[in-house]
Amino acid sequence: MKNQADIKKIIPLRLNRSELAVPGSRPEIFEKAAASKSDAIFLDLEDSVAVEKKNKARENTLDAIRNINWKNKTLSVRVNPMDTIFFKKDIEKLIGFNNQKLDLIMLPKVNSEKDVMKLEKIVNRLENLYKVKKKIGFELIIETAQGLINVNKIASSSNRIESLHFGAADFAASIGAKTMSIGGTHNDYGTLNSISGKKKRNFFLNDIWQVALFNIVVAAKANGLRAIDCPYGDFNDNEGFKALAKSSYSLGFDGKMLIHPKQIELSNKIFSPTKKELNDAKEMLKIIKKSAKSGKGAIAINGKLLDIVTIKQAKNIVELNNKILLKKND
Ligand code: GLV
Ligand code: MG
């Protein structure tokens, strides 16, 4: 396995706060998506496209990669899963007709590192065959019970991997969780506090995705990858979206897949450092620099001791902000 520093050199720095899903079967909304403020777009050939429209959606998508101006957005295509009759043709066409505009292939329902190695082999062969200069990167969706069990091996299985994504809807189906809305919570997943006299008992809702999210973010970050949270299907529920997005931002996620353009601005805002976070981080780095010069060891700010990890976190915040500024100036 490569160490984190080596891998970071290979993976391009990309903003990934918002990644809008655009069904390949709906070319009428491509231009609008290209003009949006989403950091990344994925044109979808998988679950938002009905089986009888798969071939047409692929044609639309190839056409859109070549002919639409995607500006400074990261462009990805979600292909059909490996065990479908559409998968091979999806990859062949995408690599064969790539005119250097496609950045990433998103592979859904990844079950093990073998899936990634198989994809890599196919892509290597096609890129050689077509003499493609720009190497394509991979985004992998962890959304099956098998995928979650194997997530650590998956995360280090190819140098092309840029990010791990969580797919809550498929994951729920895979383990038999009883959620009905994409990426939402379940009001029965919780517990009561213990009986104490006649006091009314309180119900505490638990986060049904906690374990999956935690494992995914750890596997991603251990390998220098971005971690992207699942879509939130109820696009009229801004409060629900915000709560879950803030929760994954605070855990270390870099962004969310989005199901509706309404969610773009919210996501960009939540996955950007706040003014206070940025000022605190800058202040911290300034003080640390000063104390290093004067040869002081451990230092405290506002009554809290700083260690190497806090410094790293401060650097991450400043680095993320620099990426956002670069995008604004593009
Ligand atoms: C996304 O692909 C999901 O299954 O939630
Ligand atoms: Mg899915």
CA distance 22 to 42: 6
Label residue 127 exposed, middle or buried (CB < 10 Å: 0-12, 13-18, 19+).
Answer: middle
Best of 19, 46, 47, 259 to mutate for ligand 1, by most ligand atoms within 8 A of CB?
Answer: 47
Label residue 63 exposed, middle or buried (CB < 10 Å: 0-12, 13-18, 19+).
Answer: middle
CA of 161 to the centre of ligand 2 (A): 18
Amino acid at 18: S
CA of 263 to the centre of ligand 1 (A): 16
CA of 170 to the centre of ligand 2 (A): 5
Index of the ligand 1 atom closest to the CA of residue 108: 2
Q: What is the DSSP letter of 26?
A: -
Contact 165, 141 (CB under 8 A): yes
Sign of CA dihedral 260, 151, 4, 221: positive
Q: What is the DSSP letter of 236?
A: T
pLDDT value of residue 330:
60
Ligand nearest to the CA of residue 230, numbered in listed order: 1
- The pTM (predicted TM-score) of the whole model is 0.90
Best of 80, 170, 229 to mutate for ligand 1, by most ligand atoms within 8 A of CB?
Answer: 170
CA atoms within 13 A on the CB side of 280: 15
Ligand nearest to the CA of residue 81, numbered in listed order: 2
Q: Which domains does the chain have, with CATH numbers?
A: 4-272 (3.20.20.60), 276-328 (no CATH)
Ligand 1 site residues (CB inside 6 A) read 108, 141, 143, 167-170, 182, 230-231
**Of 1-5, 282-286, 303-307, highest mean pLDDT:** 282-286
pLDDT digits (tens, 9 = 90+) for 86-107: 999 999 999 997 777 899 999 9
3-state SS of 102-155? CCEEEECCCCCHHHHHHHHHHHHHHHHHCCCCCCCEEEEEECCHHHHHCHHHHH
pLDDT digits (tens, 9 = 90+) for 164-220: 999 999 999 999 999 878 998 889 999 999 988 888 999 999 999 999 999 999 999
pLDDT value of residue 98:
72
Q: What is the DSSP letter of 233?
A: S
Confidence of residue 7 (pLDDT cuts 50, 70, 90): very low
168: nearest Cα among 104, 228, 116, 235: 228
Mean pLDDT of the chain: 91
261: nearest Cα among 66, 9, 7, 20: 20
CA of 76 to the centre of ligand 2 (A): 15
